[in-house]
Amino acid sequence: MIEASASMFQPRQLECAHGRSLTLGPQGVLMAIVNVTPDSFSDGGQFETAEAAVTFGLGAVEEGAAILDIGGQSTRPGAADVTPAEEQDRVLPVIAALAVRTEALISIDTYHTETARLAVAAGAHIVNDISGGTAEPDILSVTARSGSAYCLMHTSRRADTLSDPVADQFAFLEPALKAARAAGIVDNRLVIDPGFGFGKGSEDNLEIMAHLERLHELRLPLLIGTSRKRFVAALAGADDNLARDFATAATTALLRLAGGAIFRVHNVAANRAALAAADAIISRRYGDRS
């Protein structure tokens, strides 16, 4: 088993579309969630217009977000499917506007190939695919040709899920990464996401958190998405967003200490503070990693 070590916090470059890159390792990086949807589990309907979403995104950058993750389809269980065309109508104006108004990186949260292609053309730098390339496999080659970074998420929403949640991470991620590489996505453009909450019970999520260091065996940066998830609410013992944000910040600090690189969050300010505390401990433990 790989324990937390200084190597997890050494700088590495994540290469992205449009000639951009992002340094990962020495400090935790915040990815702000911008849901341009009417029905997302936490903030659906918050942005009635593209301009409202843009304003929120710009505010998130001021609070410390380095990446803005733009999504046009809710991924909560039971959410209605959205056609690619409807998804594109929601997200493309937001991406195009943000691309000319901020230097922050822009991520498109989609598993639709055509949405990913158009989003990168509109200015996105990263494709964030919750299906790990399984929903529409052509998204892998499209992403490779675009030069964007690719966040590949583990999902337990499949028939062959293993009962051991940590073993299942490898059972899914290893072949998914092989497919991504075969399509032309190189390692300095790859990020993996354990997929907290996606088809996983509370005990599964806790088991993965407790053994997150294991995933460093895959030698890629980790994206952490615990923000306001149902199991986080259970940890908090309350179900309002404030309690969820407190518990999310705690998981952010703990999982940063375990080597998480990017943290996808709703409340940027709270998680910025959590990362500052964790990074101070990492600096004291391992010294300068620049």
| Closest of 103, 15, 18, 4 to residue 58, by C-alpha | 103
Per-residue confidence (pLDDT) for residue 44, from 0 to 100 = 47
Q: Residue 71 pairs with which residues in a beta bridge? A: 35, 109
Q: DSSP code of 125?
A: -
Active-site entry in 229, 244, 256, 272: 229
Phi, psi of 29 (to 5 degrees): -115, 135
pLDDT at 237: 81
Q: In whole angstroms, give the CA distance from residue 120 to residue 143.
A: 9
Nearest to 87 by CA among 36, 125, 138: 36
The pLDDT value recorded for residue 38 is: 74
Of 90, 244, 256, 264, which is the active-site residue? 264
Q: Cα(66)–Cα(113) distance, rounded to whole angstroms?
A: 24
Amino acid at 73: Q
Question: Are the beta carbons of 67 and 29 closer than 8 angstroms?
Answer: yes
Question: Along the 290 residues of the chain, how does pLDDT read in single tens digits?
Answer: 445 578 899 999 999 999 999 999 999 999 999 999 874 445 445 666 889 999 999 999 999 999 999 999 876 665 577 899 999 999 999 999 999 999 999 999 999 999 999 999 999 999 999 999 999 999 999 999 999 999 999 998 788 999 999 999 999 999 999 999 999 999 999 999 999 999 899 999 999 999 999 999 999 999 999 999 988 888 878 778 888 999 999 999 999 999 999 999 999 999 999 999 999 999 999 887 77
Q: What type of residue sits at position 225?
A: G
In the chain, alpha helices (H): 50-63, 84-99, 113-122, 138-146, 165-182, 202-210, 230-236, 241-257, 268-286
Q: Are 194 and 171 a contacting pair, CB within 8 Å?
A: no
CATH of range 23-286; options 3.40.1170.20, 3.20.19.10, 3.20.20.70, 3.20.20.20: 3.20.20.20
Domain ranges of the chain: 23-286
C-alpha to C-alpha distance for 142 and 155, rounded to whole angstroms: 21
Active site residue 200: no
Look at residue 42 in the predicted model and tell me its pLDDT.
52
Residue 229: active-site member: yes
